[in-house]
Amino acid sequence: MDITYENVIGKPEFNLDLQATLGDILNSERILITGAGGSIGSKIASSIAQFPNIEMLATDRDENRLHSLSLEIMGTALFNSSQFKVLDIRDSTGVENIIHKFKPSMVIHAAALKHLAILETQPREAYLTNFLGTRNVLRSASKNNVNRFLNISTDKAANPISILGKTKYMAEILTTDFRRSGFNQYTSVRFGNVFNSKGSVIETFTRQIELGLPVTLTDLEVSRFFMKIEEAANLSLLASTLNAGDIHILDMGDPIKLIEVIRKLGDILERKSEIVIVGLREGEKIQEELWSIEEQVVLTENRRIKALNLASNRQTLMDYKENPLTDEEAFSEINRLMIGTKVEM
């Protein structure tokens, strides 16, 4: 038996015919993707590449990941296509140069640092990429009259307690700031864990079981939302065209206990591993949320997507200019900037 979404998570796949659903809407768009070498970014790029009348520019700061994406989409490792460019979103000049030259009609912003434990110890990295990097892309997109903007967010931005969650929530606020300033097709999308993505908990558990190592679990009660990567990519594209609110929430179904995931992986691999409980890490939750109790979610025309609007009286982050030089300064600034950003009833 293979390790598949259906075998491990036990949910049926949600099929979406992108060509039939979005073919007319996205026809003739020029789409720039940041973080196109990552798990979700590469899947979105692969989906977009199926459309004959869309021009795409895939960017990432990791040239090796871009090389792999080029091989997947173009069938060649020559890396000579103008569809792939190295770009670090922290570099505001580089961002402006590429957006000004390509002149996209739509930007899909998937570039981010996402590993919770690492960012807890290196908050400056999260600050520079997830906050200032996002602002760089938003500023250049608006300056160059990009019509659509989709910010790929995470469930950890709902009621955030981690550096990852806080900086991704700040990216949602930035996107909403630009939406409120006249760019009304700028929006964000939140979803939980992408099944078996690069660096995911599924990948970690599988590796530990295959090597006969103890499987490390934070808590017996810990649970997470999971979604197949194709679903996350395609529903994110659909959310950008629905444009039903500041933030779109993808239907993840019920959360799954990780202890059950470990057991199913062990059955599939036909191996038993010791489970070691290591305790919750700083910034980690027993169960993730897709929205906080203060956020009022509404239905959209698609049953798999909900939407919400952020409170209009929360602090704006659009004009913030400082750049902390140390992890300690970044940690303080992230927490200071969160004051006044919480949604109010």
Q: Where are the alpha helices (DSSP H) in 131-192?
A: 134-143, 163-180
Q: What is the CATH number of the domain that holds 295?
A: 3.40.50.720
Domain that holds residue 67: 23-194+226-254+290-338
53 part of a folded domain: yes
Q: Is the dihedral of CA 275, 278, 279, 284 positive or negative?
A: negative
Q: Where are the alpha helices (DSSP H) in 181-277?
A: 201-210, 229-242, 258-269
279 in Cβ contact with 218 (< 8 Å): yes
Residue in the structure block whose two tokens are 């194709």: 230
218 part of a folded domain: no
pTM recorded for the entire structure = 0.94
Of the candidates 57, 66, 141, the one whose C-alpha atom is nearest the C-alpha of residue 96 is: 141
320 part of a folded domain: yes
Which tokens go with 260? 């059950």
250 in Cβ contact with 242 (< 8 Å): no
Going residue by residue through the chain, which has 345 residues, state the pLDDT in tens, using 9 for 90 and above. Answer: 789 888 999 887 677 777 778 888 898 999 999 999 999 999 999 999 989 899 999 999 999 999 999 999 988 766 667 899 999 999 999 999 999 999 999 999 999 999 999 999 999 999 999 999 999 999 999 999 999 999 999 999 999 999 999 999 999 999 999 999 999 999 999 999 998 787 789 999 999 999 999 999 999 999 999 999 999 999 999 999 999 999 999 999 999 999 999 999 999 999 989 999 999 999 999 999 999 988 999 999 999 999 999 987 778 887 777 789 999 999 999 998 887 775 432
CA distance 66 to 50: 18
In the chain, what are the helix, strand and coil shares in percent, each to the nearest 5? Answer: 40, 15, 45
Total count of domains within the chain: 1
